[in-house]
Amino acid sequence: MKAFLLYGSVSLLSIYGYSQVSDSASTGSKTNFVIGAAYNSAINYYGRTDSLHSKAFIPFTGINFRNGIYLNASFAFISNELATKYAASIVETGYRFKNKKENWTGNIFVNGFFYDKQSGLVQSALKGSAGINLSHTNKILNLNVGGDVKWSDAADFTAFAGLDHLFRTEQLGPGVLVIDPSVYLYAGTQRFTETYYQDKQFLIFPAGQEAITRSSSRFNLLSYELSCPVVYGYKKVQLIVNPSYVIPENLISVPGRPDLSEQGTNLFYIVTAIRFTL
């Protein structure tokens, strides 16, 4: 299930998006520590990108308790044609759960985002989020759903649904290979600001025009995404490669104001990572 952190493609913390896949390539259920690093070839937020098309290097660490509680932290450094610099720290805590048959799994989570104000990233206005993710596994297709609320200067709601089919084999060398082709769609609130002009009158005489600015929000489809996480696990080490193709939808365009318009196009990108469980 891609959604142990919803931002598999839309946040710097994409490495945590492969919890189910990574767990399938590991063994053991005791409390453990996790350290590692990830590389994201194209940072995007539901397919929306910054004008410099930044890449990211993301060291991360975390602890997973046997009772399901976990705490993760990551530190993102971005690279583009202008600079290589620190961009953000992100902290997540939550609780993973499953039923006795283990065909229903999920988690609830809370995130804190601490972005450098000069990072220039599309998602840098985010301050935090909280949500829930659920996955139902079966022999044909796994169903994944979830939603969260994000805080910036106002609250925004997002939801997702996805399907995947997980392949696991121990026939290729001493480790475990897991492949998880997936398709997801994301939807959420979008905020709009529009300005129009209204004629003014003084008594019965025209008195010019007055600019009226109005804000509104709508719940729209944000993007589709196709991905295929591949994880190879050997003892306490996991190697992760996740090629993805994201198709943004309903990009906001403000005539004459490119600074207020969203940039995005169909995008292929890859996240690679190495993860150690201690």
CA distance 269 to 250: 20
Of 7-21, 52-66, 81-95, 141-155, the poorest mean pLDDT is in 7-21
With cut-offs at 50, 70 and 90, classify the pLDDT of residue 52: confident
With cut-offs at 50, 70 and 90, classify the pLDDT of residue 3: very low
Per-residue pLDDT, averaged over 257-263, amounts to 73
Q: Which domains does the chain have, with CATH numbers?
A: 2-277 (2.40.160.40)
With cut-offs at 50, 70 and 90, classify the pLDDT of residue 260: low
Alpha carbons within 13 A on the beta-carbon side of 87: 26
With cut-offs at 50, 70 and 90, classify the pLDDT of residue 119: confident
Residue type, 252: I
What are the angstrom distances between the C-alpha of 4 and each of 54, 89, 92?
24, 18, 11
Token pair of 92, please? 């997540």
CA distance 209 to 98: 61
Percent of the chain with pLDDT over 70: 78
pTM to 2 decimal places: 0.82
Of 22-36, 118-132, 153-167, 190-204, the poorest mean pLDDT is in 190-204
Per-residue pLDDT, averaged over 131-152, amounts to 92
Contacts of 8 (CB under 8 A, 6+ apart): 2, 14, 17, 18, 184, 225, 227, 244
Query: What value does the mean pLDDT of the chain take?
Result: 82
Place of tokens 């599309």: 122
